[in-house]
């Protein structure tokens, strides 16, 4: 037993990194070699900005997926919260108040999802699938299916500030040589950092894994599984509303359809990141790299001038290959463990 410790850990250490890191590195290198201007400061900055919304969503999705659930309402909630925040801004409400209203509505929807799953015992897929429709419907109704704009002013000054860049370094004349870090990316990093910090440094992470692995065991260990499940859906709803804030700032307006299909992309990112849909396995980092992988593929293809339709096909393929990699890695890991 004591000998197993020494050699076993060393070998498994590399495998402990989520597979999506390797997938990410692979597509990143390929893209850098094959696509012109991919590996340029400007493009990388844009990539990060575009990916940030999905990164937040896929983190939220991972939390729910690790606990054995799924949150399909994320996209709808994003649209709904975005519309609510935009309407608040249009009515002249202060930004911070508007954000608060948005986040609270996201949390309320999460609460609704959580209660459906825990108290009504509706399977998560169905509960959140249903509330996806409800949230999207609220977004459409409130906005009248139109994009919402608001007049800038002192009450929304912070938004203009957040829409700007933290750093902007120009290496040359062309746009691709401009390296910039928008505030939005910093904001994403902060949000992601906080979630990961809470996940690692409070009981949140441990309980999420325990509930996903086996809810009965978690309950026997004295964990209030229902409360925690509800909490996870609430967090997911709140993160969706923060993602809505990012959309709002980036486009300086809000379309009621902004969230469409994002929940599925978040599932794909989470799954590519090694989070098993049956729960109990996976990591938040994995999902981040899953989301980045998707955006690297997208960016590289568009730089190559390839049609967005072809991008859909390629992403379907990336998903299949990614899943194959995960399956292979799982088998390999099992073999290593068997030998110990």
Partner 1 sequence: MSGQATIPRKRLLKSLTDFSSLFILFGVLAFFEVVTTLQGNDYLTMSNMSVMINQACFLTIIGISQALAILTGGLNLAIGSVMAFTTVMWGRMLVGANSDVHYIVPMLIIVGAGMLIGLVNGLLITKLKMPPFIATFATMYACRGLAWLALGKRVIYNLNSDFRWFGIGIVTRVGGFTLTVPMIITLVLLVATAFMLTRTNFGRRIYFMGANPVAAKFSGIPTDRIIIWVYVISTGIAAFAGLLYGARLNSFEPGMAVNAPFEAITVALIGGIAMSGGFGNIWGVLCGSIIVAAIYNGMNILSVPSELQTLVMGAMIIFAVAFNQLLIKWNMELRNELDERIAPDTRVHGVEGKA
Partner 2 sequence: MTKILEFQHISKSFPGVKALDDVSVDLNAGEVHVIVGENGAGKSTLMKLLSGAYTADGGQMLLEGKPILHNNPQLSEQLGIAMIYQELTIVPELSVANNIFLGHEIRWGIFLDRKSMEARTEELLTSIGVNVSPRTLVKNLSIANQQMIEIIKALSKNAKIIVFDEPTSSLTNTEIGELFRIIAALKAKGVGMFYISHRLEEIFEIGDRVTIMRDGRKITTSNIANSTLDQIVEGIAGRRIDKVYTRTYLEKGDVALAINNLCGERFKNINIEVRAGEIVGLAGLVGSGRSEVARAAYGIDPYSQGEVFVKGEKIPKATPQRMSAKGVAFLPENRKREGLALSLPIRENAVVSALQWLNPGGVIRRHKERKLVQSFVDSLGISTPTIEKLTNFLSGGTQQKVVLAKWLVTQAHTFIFDEPTRGIDVGSKTSIYSLMDELVGRGAGILMISSELPEVLGMSDRIYIMAQGRIAGELTKDEADQMKIIQLAFSQSETTGEKGGAA
| Of 291, 285, 271, residue with least CA distance to 53 | 291
CB 24 within 8 A of CB 289: yes
Q: How far apart are CA 318 and CA 297, in angstroms?
A: 9
Report the nearest approach of partner 2 to the CB of residue 55 (Å).
Answer: 21
By C-beta, is 144 or 338 nearer to partner 2? 338
Q: Is 311 in the site for partner 1 (CB under 8 A)?
A: yes
Please list the residues that pair with 167 across neighbouring strands: 181
CB 296 within 8 A of CB 288: no
Which of 48, 53, 132, 300 touches partner 1 by CB under 8 A? 132
Q: Give me the DSSP letters along 233-298.
A: HHHHHHHHHHHHHHHHHHHTSB-TTTTTTHHHHHHHHHHHTT--TTSS---HHHHHHHHHHHHHHH
Q: With CB under 8 A as the contact rule, which of the stretches 26-34, 49-57, 99-107, 332-340 interacts with partner 2? A: 332-340
**294-297 long-range contacts, Cβ below 8 Å, gap at least 24?**
294/51, 294/54, 294/265, 294/268, 294/269, 294/318, 295/47, 295/50, 295/51, 295/54, 296/24, 296/27, 296/28, 296/31, 296/47, 297/27, 297/31
> What value does the CA radius of gyration of the chain take, rounded to a whole number of Å?
21
Q: DSSP secondary-structure letter at 164?
A: S
Q: Total number of residues binding partner 1 (CB under 8 A)? A: 43
Burial class (CB in 10 A: 0-12, 13-18, 19+), 128: buried
Please list the residues that pair with 168 across neighbouring strands: 180
Interacting residues with partner 1 between 258 and 277 (CB under 8 A) = 264, 267-268, 271, 277
The site partner of 131 among partner 2, partner 1, none (C-beta below 5 to 8 Å per kind) is partner 1
Which of 181, 196, 323, 329 touches partner 1 by CB under 8 A? 323
By C-beta, is 145 or 339 nearer to partner 1? 145
Q: Is 183 in the site for partner 1 (CB under 8 A)?
A: no
Report the nearest approach of partner 2 to the CB of residue 17 (Å).
Answer: 12
Q: Is 147 in the site for partner 1 (CB under 8 A)?
A: no
Print the binding letters for residues 255-294 with partner 2: x by CB under 8 A, - otherwise: -------------------------xxx------------
* Rounded to 5°, angle at Cα 56 from 51 and 62: 115
Q: Is 122 in the site for partner 1 (CB under 8 A)?
A: yes
Q: Show the tokens assigned to 255.
A: 């379309």
Which of 7, 91, 141, 202 touches partner 2 by CB under 8 A? 202
The site partner of 126 among partner 2, partner 1, none (C-beta below 5 to 8 Å per kind) is partner 1
Q: DSSP secondary-structure letter at 169?
A: E
Interacting residues with partner 2 between 9 and 38 (CB under 8 A) = 9, 12, 16
Q: Is 304 in the site for partner 1 (CB under 8 A)?
A: no
By C-beta, is 42 or 279 nearer to partner 1? 279
Q: Show the tokens assigned to 242.
A: 């923060």
Report the nearest approach of partner 2 to the CB of residue 220 (Å).
Answer: 6
Binding site for partner 2 (CB under 8 A): 1-2, 4-5, 8-9, 12, 16, 201-203, 206, 209-210, 213-214, 217-218, 220-223, 280-282, 337-338, 340
Binding site for partner 1 (CB under 8 A): 116, 120-123, 125-127, 129-138, 140-141, 144-145, 264, 267-268, 271, 277, 307-317, 319-320, 323-324, 327
């Amino acid at each position: 037993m004591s000998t197993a410790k020494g050699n076993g850990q060393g070998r498994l250490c590399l495998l402990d990194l989520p597979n999506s890191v390797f997938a990410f590195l692979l597509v990143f290198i390929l893209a850098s070699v094959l696509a012109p201007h991919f590996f340029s400061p400007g493009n990388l900055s844009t990539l990060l900005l575009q990916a940030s919304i999905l990164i937040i969503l896929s983190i939220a999705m991972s939390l729910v997926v690790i606990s054995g659930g799924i949150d399909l309402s994320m996209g709808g909630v994003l649209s709904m919260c975005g519309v609510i925040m935009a309407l608040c801004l249009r009515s002249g409400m202060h930004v911070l108040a508007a954000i608060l209203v948005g986040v609270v509505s996201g949390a309320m929807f999460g609460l609704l999802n959580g209660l459906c799953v825990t108290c009504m015992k509706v399977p998560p897929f169905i509960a959140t699938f249903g509330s996806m429709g409800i949230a999207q419907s609220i977004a459409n109704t409130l906005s009248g299916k139109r994009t919402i704009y608001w007049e800038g002013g002192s009450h929304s000054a912070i938004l203009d500030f957040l829409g700007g860049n933290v750093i902007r370094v120009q290496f040359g004349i062309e746009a691709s040589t401009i390296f910039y870090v928008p505030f939005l990316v910093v904001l994403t990093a902060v949000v992601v950092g906080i979630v990961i910090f809470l996940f690692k440094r409070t009981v949140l992470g441990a309980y999420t894994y325990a509930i996903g692995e086996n809810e009965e065991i978690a309950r026997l260990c004295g964990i209030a599984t229902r409360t925690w499940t509800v909490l996870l859906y609430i967090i997911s709803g709140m993160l969706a509303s923060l993602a809505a804030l990012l959309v709002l700032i980036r486009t300086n307006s809000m379309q009621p359809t902004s969230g469409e299909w994002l929940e599925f992309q978040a599932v794909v990112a989470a799954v590519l990141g090694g989070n098993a849909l049956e729960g109990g396995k996976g990591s938040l980092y994995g999902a981040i790299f899953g989301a980045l992988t998707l955006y690297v593929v997208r960016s590289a293809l568009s730089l190559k001038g390839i049609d967005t339709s072809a991008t859909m096909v390629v992403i379907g393929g990336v998903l299949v290959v990614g899943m194959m990699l995960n399956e292979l890695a799982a088998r390999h890991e099992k073999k290593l463990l068997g030998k110990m």
